Structure 1
């Protein structure tokens, strides 16, 4: 569950390393976001190797989609899934990913929620 002021890792090759959540979208007075939701973020740190070729700059404001959360997710068959860290992937105003790769696995929920582009960019599913 992600809320305002949460520091998140970026798991794509856009050049950003960490971001801070500014606003949770999709609803008036909504306080928390879960897996697959869209949030507005501010870029806090850039990756050292990608500073010159980065697609983003420090301090810029972008939209992001939540890829992984520490919150446990229970499925109908009884299995529980959770990740080690909170992670996002940056998107542009049209909702398409800024990066060309997503590092690490993505939950299978992205196939069902019509976010197939993120599923194809990732290395695998959980």
Structure 2
């Protein structure tokens, strides 16, 4: 579960390396974000120091889609799975991804939540 002040890794090639969650979107007093939720993030660290190749700047505020969490997720068939890290991908205000690739596989749960743009640019599904 992701809440305010959580540090996440960025799983796309937008140029950001780590981000901090500022706000969880999706309802009045919503406290935690799970897989497939939208959050507002601030960029804390860039992948490389070159600002020419980066699409974002340090301290910039973006929306992000949570694609990996450490918390176990229970499926309807009774099986559970979890991932090794908390990570997100940056999106703009219209919901279009900032990066052109997503590094690493993403969960199939995002397919049910109608995030087909992210599934198309990802390496694989888990």
Q: Report the TM-score when normalising by structure 2.
A: 0.97
Structure 1 residue runs without a partner (length 5+): none
C-alpha offsets along residues 19-50 of structure 1, whole Å, 9 cap, x if unaligned? 00000000011111100000000000000265
**Equivalent residue number for residue 101 of structure 1:** 101
Q: How many residue pairs were aligned?
A: 126
Distance 1:56 1:34 in 2: 24
Alignment map for 1:1-126 (pairs within 5 Å): 1-48=1-48, 51-126=51-126
Moved over 6 A (4+): none
Q: Report the TM-score when normalising by structure 1.
A: 0.97
Structure 2 residue runs without a partner (length 5+): none
Distance 1:101 1:92 in 2: 15
- CA RMSD in angstroms, aligned pairs only: 1.0
Indicate conservation of the 8 Å contact 1:15/1:50, yes or no. Answer: no
